[in-house]
Amino acid sequence: MRNGNDRDPENFLWQSFDYPCDTLLPGMKLGRNRVGGLDRYLSSWKSADDPSKGNFTYWIDPSGFPQLLLRNGLAVAFRPGPWNGIRFSGIPQLTNNPVYSYEYVSNEKEIYFIYYLVNSSVIMRLVLTPDGKAQRFTWTDQKNEWTLYSTAQRDQCDNYAICGVNGICKIDQSPNCECMKGFRPMFQSNWDMAYWSDGCVRSTPLDCQKGDGFVKYSGMKLPDTRSSWFNESMNLKECASLCLSNCSCTAYANSDIRGGGSGCLLWFGDLIDIRDFTQNGQEFYVRMAAADLAYMEHNPKGGENNEGQEHLKLPLFDLDTLLNATNNFSNDNKLGEGGFGPVYKGILQEGQEITVKMMSKTSRQGLKEFKNEVESIAKLQHRNLVKLLGCCIHGRERLLIYEHMPNKSLDFFIFDQMRSKVLDWPKRFLIINGIAQGLLYLHRDSRLRIIHRDLKAENILLDNEMIPKISDFGITGSFGGNEIETNTTRVARTLGYMSPEYAREGLYSTKSDVFSFGVLVLEIVSGKRNKGFNHPYHDLSLLGHAWTFFMEDRSSEFIDASMGNTCNLSEVLRSINLGLLCVQRFPEDRPSMHSVVLMLGSEGALPQPKEPYFFTDMNMMEGNSSSGTQSTIRLLEA
């Protein structure tokens, strides 16, 4: 509704874009008009088929330093957090992309978030769903339906204040919650039972007169800013001085992270809703008592106030300890042998079971691979990655010590006619999901962006609950920050899992790991190896066999009969479809691991895969002629 012929949108008397329901379209503002007091916010439907107002709202809260909040009634359910100049602090996945651009405006008149489509042919909407999820959808003409593009909430650590006050949520460790340095659980008995909402209290009370200081945290989601103070013209040094001079100030940070950082953000009282993002997080500084600071300086593992402590120092085991644990590396304790060398089970004096991997004297892998594995795994913490406990270097002997996996590796079960019966479909589906989560962490969320390069059933270990853990990082490729390309003179050769571009040209990327994952999925579903697969009626590989059944709508015949009647047929058929999407010939056709995880967790129709590249073991060997020459590793963005 316009005032006469006035076409300036700022002077419109009324427009529907100012009163969104559950949907934010491109060009709509989410925020507040500070002059007129108009709030533009999303409110969910009551249910998928009931458009009356539901329980959830999504809006920018202007109290303290303004931040985006998602509420369930009056309670905060999810906090995307304050704008840091690039993105909302709690949504690190909000980055520049080819589909849409976005903008955040904050001035004396208004404060709002807005997005625009880069490609006008794309149809997109941001929806607050009845169950409280902030999700983006795009319209797919081929399927005549909305397809999920992204979800703001990704995991348990996105639940508001799950670790209580002064606690940090770390999704890649178990348990997920821990107290900040210098703090302890308010009620230890509750924390022991994984009930963390009481939070943490200081081990030593602050005392301004005795010289408090600050501990630096990096890669974090900033605490709730509703009770904060900010000044956008100050620098970090001025901010630190101001916080130190105010005995009630408990933390400080830059309000804007662009260009090295600017602005000042101060917190007062307890800090709440913090999580560790590892990547794309922010730095902030927490006030500590002088006594705690002194302790951390003498005990580096006790705090994070020294920037040089980012490199984890693993425990060093002496050789005598390992000799005693493995009964002098006896054959009775030998678990197997791989390209790295023999692997042994051991038991330390305190009773802990370990796995010891010894570098073979004739191994084609050298000191470089040993250091690579140690440095890579030491920085990685995820429930679906094997945990490295330490290492041993004694003369020419080099050994790695891992947590012991009592159920050996995945190939021990799925390729054995009798043992495969232990893995019913629910267990196999959990294993598929676990491998996907571990790979997603390696590709996108780890401190170093890791390409595994040798993903196979033998390198998927199973713990006592059959939870899968990816192992063997001796030939990984890691990328830091914006690095997207590196060179290698070695090519891993595990036939049956290698992508066409790697086998033939030595080109490796995250999409090559996706290919290997797709092979694993098809092996888990069928119970048959891709390498050496043979069939009495054709010469196709396992991939070709799966493709033929898929195109003839006979995928149910591809399923491992040893699973019996435990199959959820729709899940199994979706898994076959997903596996074929992952083994498509060209890397750009394969989904990222982020998309794979989304597809595993949804029930919508999957895209139609293109024909995979059928090759045999022999022509893979012939094509892989670059193993003695320099080849290129390329990292494709997930």
Q: What is the pLDDT of residues 100-131, one digit of tens each?
A: 999 999 998 999 999 999 988 899 999 999 99
Residues in the chain: 638
Do 85 and 258 meet the contact criterion of CB atoms below 8 Å apart?
A: yes
Would you place residue 629 in the very low, low, confident or very high pLDDT band (cuts 50, 70, 90)?
very low
* pLDDT tens digits for range 21-65: 999 999 999 999 988 788 899 999 999 999 999 999 999 999 899
Residue 293, H or E segment: helix 290-298
Highest-scoring range by mean pLDDT, 306-310, 422-426, 535-539: 422-426
Q: Looking at this protein, which amino acid is placed at residue 189?
A: S
Distance CA(144)–CA(140), nearest Å, equals: 6
The catalytic site residues sit at 454
The values of phi and psi at residue 21, to 5°, are -100, -100
Q: How far, in Å, CA of 451 to CA of 530, rounded?
A: 21
Mind listing the domains of the chain with CATH numbers?
9-154 (no CATH), 158-310 (no CATH), 319-403 (3.30.200.20), 410-634 (1.10.510.10)
Residues 6+ apart with CB under 8 A from 203: 182, 183, 184, 292
The predicted model scores a pTM of 0.51
Residues 636/509, Cβ–Cβ less than 8 Å: yes
- Within its chain, how far is the Cα of 390 from the centroid? 24
Angstrom distance (rounded) from CA 561 to CA 579? 19
Sign, CA torsion 409/411/412/418: positive
Q: Range with the lowest mean pLDDT among 138-142, 189-193, 300-304, 356-360?
A: 300-304
- Tell me the CA distances in angstroms from 396 to 167, 354, 359, 393, 585, one per residue in order: 44, 22, 9, 7, 43
| pLDDT value of residue 252 | 96
- pLDDT tops 80 at residue 483: no
pLDDT at 298: 45
Any idea what the Cα angle at residue 494 is, between residues 488 and 495, rounded to 5°? Answer: 120
* Rounded-to-integer distance, Cα 583 and Cα 499, Å: 8
Tokens 């995928």 locate to 555
The C-alpha atoms of residue 15 and residue 9 are separated, in whole angstroms, by: 9
Token pair recorded at residue 326? 């493995």
Compute the 3-state secondary structure of the chain and give helix, strand, coil in percent, each to the nearest 5. 30, 30, 45
* Burial class of residue 417 (count of CB atoms within 10 Å of its CB; 0-12, 13-18, 19+): exposed
Give CA separation, 29 vs 71, 319, 359, in Å: 19, 64, 59
